[in-house]
Amino acid sequence: PADLVLTVDTTQRYQKVKGFGGSVTDAAAMNILSLPETAQDHLLRSYFSEEGLEYNLVRLPMASCDFSLHAYTYDDVPFDYELTHFSLRDEDTKLKASALAMSKQPLSLYASPWTSPTWMKTSESFVGKGTLKGQAGDKYHKTWANYFVRFLDEYAKYNLTFWAVTAENEPSAGLINNYPFQCLGFTAEQQRDFIAWDLGPALANSSHRHIQLIILDDNRLHLPHWAKVVLEDEKAARYIHGIGIHWYLDFIGPIQDTVVPTHELFPDYFILATEACIGAHFWERDVILGCWDRGNQYSHSILTNLNHFVAGWTDWNLALDLEGGPNWVKNYVDSPVIVDTSEGIFYKQPMFYHMGHFSKFIPEGSQRVGLVASKESKKVDLEYTAFLRPDGAVVVVVLNR
């Protein structure tokens, strides 16, 4: 085929990068800590050290999610509006905090709740369709907002401070009948009012007033509608910094129709990919060891996102077992690192190395720049992106699927 020339144009400047990383769920922490100490250390260095992928973003569930051994929150004592009984669990202190303590590099941590205590919910259950009782500004909403502050306070005692919180993981999930695992429903209007009346003020009046607040944290299908509803309200918008997106329904919500108009309407808010994994759809196998195509799927998603104003990309579980768990509702999925607990070893999958082509070469603070192809590459379907790094170097990432 005739030569294809890619020309970098640093006069064209786009979004700045926040970073790349993955999530420390209960399951991920259990798998990591099930390994012999040398292997644990090797696994964490593989992700976070200079000889590894140099991840700088870590997402943490606030209390349990489906990748936990059971459902729980930090205050399951009914009607404890003062949160007197609020306390972190062994999952936090023995698992998540110890896993994070082993990373020497500075990390940007961000936390997302799946469910509130059941006594605050219309469903009185961790699962299924349900929202907070009452409405924004009342004692349920105030208590739920204070729960975020208490979470940050308690983690600070373990020397872990957070860069951001998301207002709720997948708020649309709690609007679905019989939803199978932990959720808490919010419409865009309910999220707007909760932030304006409760969560925004609670964070602003706490010692964590510098924390960033991320809305949506759900499939990009909800954009730009969700952003319009929440960010066109000044009372809510002043507390908000970014918009989080999940990748699960990308095939029915093209990026040009969702993310791009959102960025054009609200250029001052960052857009961050906050969750992705393969194996979540019922038609996909859970774990396929050594699957190269799954690496390609990660790279393709990351490139598409970066080329459309997204500031970073967060993988889901940092490590899972051979089954793709543990997961208390058997919602098994794949992960870049698979741990064989019985043998005390772990596998680095193609997804792991695909992540590294971004995380290792595009540090925080890099800015996307123009990259022009000499002609339409009809013969070879190449995907590519270019960044100007803080150290003055230019990096180009090219994927040939």
Which string of DSSP letters, residue by residue, matches 118-169? Answer: GGGBTTSSSSSS-BBSS-TTSHHHHHHHHHHHHHHHHHHTTT---SEEES-S
Query: Does residue 202 have a pLDDT over 90?
Result: yes
d(CA 269, CA 240): 8
Query: Given pLDDT bands bounded at 50, 70 and 90, which one contains residue 53?
Result: very high
Query: Given pLDDT bands bounded at 50, 70 and 90, which one contains residue 2?
Result: low
pLDDT digits (tens, 9 = 90+) for 229-265: 999 999 999 999 999 999 999 999 999 999 999 999 9
Query: Does residue 381 have a pLDDT over 90?
Result: no
Query: Does residue 326 have a pLDDT over 90?
Result: yes
pLDDT given for residue 102 in this prediction: 76
What is the arithmetic mean of pLDDT over 198-212? Answer: 98
pLDDT given for residue 160 in this prediction: 94
pLDDT given for residue 101 in this prediction: 83
CB-based contacts of 130: which residues, under 8 Å, 6+ apart? 121, 122, 123, 124, 174, 183, 184, 185
Cβ-contact 222, 216 below 8 angstroms: yes
What is the arithmetic mean of pLDDT over 303-320? Answer: 98
pLDDT digits (tens, 9 = 90+) for 131-188: 999 999 999 999 999 999 999 999 999 999 999 999 999 999 999 999 999 999 999 9
pLDDT given for residue 104 in this prediction: 75
pLDDT given for residue 1 in this prediction: 54
What is the arithmetic mean of pLDDT over 371-379? Answer: 77
pLDDT given for residue 377 in this prediction: 58
Q: How far apart are the first and last CA of the chain?
A: 16
Q: Cis peptide leading into 117, omega within 30 of 0?
A: no
pLDDT digits (tens, 9 = 90+) for 327-358: 999 999 999 999 999 999 999 999 999 999 99
pLDDT given for residue 99 in this prediction: 85
Pair of tokens at residue 292: 């190269």
pLDDT given for residue 379 in this prediction: 64
Query: Given pLDDT bands bounded at 50, 70 and 90, which one contains residue 378?
Result: low
What is the arithmetic mean of pLDDT over 36-54? Answer: 95
d(CA 366, CA 17): 5
What is the arithmetic mean of pLDDT over 54-60? Answer: 97
pLDDT given for residue 397 in this prediction: 98
pTM, to two decimals: 0.97
Q: Which helix (H) or strand (E) holds 384?
A: strand 382-388
- Percentage of the chain beyond pLDDT 90 is 93
What is the arithmetic mean of pLDDT over 93-100? Answer: 89
Cβ-contact 370, 9 below 8 angstroms: yes
d(CA 51, CA 48): 8
Catalytic residue numbers read 170, 275
Q: Specify which residues 57 forms β-bridges with.
A: 21, 108
pLDDT given for residue 195 in this prediction: 98
The owner of tokens 């990919």 is 273
